[in-house]
């Protein structure tokens, strides 16, 4: 699989690597990338979609995820997470998140995960609210993966 370039992504968020992110081999451990993905998507949901993570009526459950690794990164590198929406459904959304070394044109890793939105109280799937849907549509890719 070929890494995506910056043009694929619409939103970027800085990531500061931490000493504890490195594994014994001297690079960021594979599981840490999932934390980066989760942080980027949730920052978008909170800041641009109005998701109230503490007391809102709906929450998102991750139901699927995956990652491709292209080149290692290590503490103390500065990173950026690029975010794009690959699929926007009725109650679910699939994100693609690229992890870039600061200033690099191609992702060092590219991951995806799917959120299904549910009611907090009953944990039953619910349509994504219009305000959230509009913000998500702003960073959605078309079928070819192009902007």
Instruction: Say how far apart CA 130 and CA 123 lie, in whole Å.
Output: 19
β-pair partners for 106 = 5
Q: Tens-digit pLDDT profile for the chain (147 aa)?
A: 789 999 999 999 999 999 999 999 999 999 999 999 999 999 999 999 999 999 999 999 999 999 999 999 999 999 999 999 999 999 999 999 999 999 999 999 999 999 999 999 999 999 999 999 999 999 998 754 443
Residues 6+ apart with CB under 8 A from 62: 38, 113, 114, 115
Tokens of 132: 């959230």
Looking at residue 145, its pLDDT comes to 44
Q: Are 12 and 80 in contact (CB under 8 A)?
A: yes
Looking at residue 147, its pLDDT comes to 38
CA 138, 79, 108, 36 dihedral sign is: negative
């Amino acid at each position: 699989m070929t890494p995506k370039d910056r043009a694929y992504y619409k939103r970027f968020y800085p990531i500061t690597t931490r000493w504890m992110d490195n594994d014994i081999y001297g690079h960021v451990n594979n599981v840490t990338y999932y934390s980066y993905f989760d942080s980027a998507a949730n920052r978008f949901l909170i800041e641009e979609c109005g998701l109230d993570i503490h007391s809102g009526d709906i929450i998102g459950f991750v139901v699927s995820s995956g990652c491709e690794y292209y080149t290692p990164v290590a503490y103390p590198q500065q990173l950026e997470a690029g975010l794009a929406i690959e699929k926007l459904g009725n109650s679910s959304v699939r994100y693609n998140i690229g992890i870039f070394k600061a200033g690099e044109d191609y992702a060092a890793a590219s991951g995806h995960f799917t959120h299904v939105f549910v009611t907090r109280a009953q944990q039953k799937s619910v349509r994504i609210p219009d305000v959230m849907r509009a913000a998500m549509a702003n960073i959605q890719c078309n079928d070819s993966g192009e902007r």
